[in-house]
Amino acid sequence: MKKIIVFDLDDTLALSKSALDDEMSVLLVELLKKKKVSIISGGDFPQFQKQVISRLSCPNELLSNLVIFPVKGGAMYKFENNDWQIIYSKAFTPEEKAKIIEAVNTVYNEVDFLSEEPFGERLEDRNSEMTFSALGQNAPHDEKKNWDPDYTKRKTLEEKLKKLLPDFDVAIGGSTSIDITPHGVNKAFAIRQIVDQLHYEIEEILFVGDSLFKDGNDYSVIQTGVETIAVKSVDETKNIIRGIITN
């Protein structure tokens, strides 16, 4: 029996960087009444507040059933004492951030497929993660989906950054982004925190995500041995939640 349901966020619970829609908000509240829920995403905690927390209309006791893992597990938040509490954070040092910035600037000058006029900043400091967004942090959803459908551009960026940053984990993030995290921090790391800190068995965990394929940003979860369900849309996720609620 699954006791905790773990979700990816972007393009699983909501469109990339968008808030939960009304229907998903209601479904998640209903799910929280029956199960523990966790969400793992590359975004930082303020992004979770915009996309998820602000959209949940429920009493505080239900929020205690929700565990948030920003920056792919680089931080963990639980709702305790009527507020969100940070349980841990694996933040970069200033020296590490400087090294990452230098590497990103080097790669930017080596490739020819990055626009000179991005939609907002390209490099976002998420404290425990640095995210390089090729089109900028505020790129429209349709622009992002059409930019690199075959992963060629992102793989090029990933390979170049890996060579320059061997002491960090570098991986494809969203549809236009590369995530740089401390070594060993990824969504599999977050799953292990669910086991170690929340005391669930692997068999009690279900993960739902849209990028469980090789090179996808959910792929590392498969290494943990948890049961997974791959979805292609937010609507598919809604159907899965409905099934859990009604069983």
List pLDDT tens digits, range 172-186.
Answer: 888 899 999 999 899
pLDDT at 56: 96
Segment 153-168 mean pLDDT: 96
List pLDDT tens digits, range 206-236.
Answer: 999 999 998 888 999 999 999 999 999 999 9
Output the CATH code of domain 94-182.
Answer: 3.30.1240.20
Tokens read off for 96: 């590490």
List pLDDT tens digits, range 108-156.
Answer: 999 999 888 899 999 999 888 999 999 998 999 889 989 999 999 999 9
Q: In which band, very low, low, confident or very high, does the pLDDT at 158 lie, cut at 50, 70 and 90?
A: very high
Tokens read off for 9: 């966020």
pTM for this model (two decimals): 0.84
Place of tokens 């490099």: 123
Place of tokens 């959209």: 55
* The listed CATH number (1.10.3720.10, 3.40.50.1000, 3.30.1180.20, 3.40.50.720) that belongs to domain 4-90+185-246: 3.40.50.1000
Closest CA to 12 of 240, 202, 246: 240
Measure the CA angle with vertex 175, ends 174 and 181; round to 5°: 30
pLDDT at 133: 93
Tokens read off for 80: 């305790």
- The sign one gets for the Cα dihedral 27, 31, 33, 34 is positive
pLDDT at 242: 98
CB distance 72 to 170 below 8 Å: no
pLDDT at 54: 96
Report domain extents, the chain.
4-90+185-246, 94-182
Per DSSP, what are the bridge partners of residue 179? Answer: 131, 171
The CA distance from 13 to 235, in Å, is 9
What is the percent of the chain with per-residue pLDDT over 90, rounded to a whole number?
83
Query: Taking 90 as the threshold, does the pLDDT of residue 241 lie above it?
Result: yes
List pLDDT tens digits, range 4-62.
Answer: 999 999 999 999 889 999 999 999 999 999 999 999 998 899 999 999 999 999 999 99
List pLDDT tens digits, range 64-118.
Answer: 999 999 998 999 999 999 999 999 999 899 999 999 999 999 999 999 998 888 9
pLDDT at 224: 97
92 phi-psi bin (left φ>0, alpha ψ -120 to 50, beta other): beta
Beta strands 66-69 and 36-40 are parallel
Place of tokens 């984990």: 169
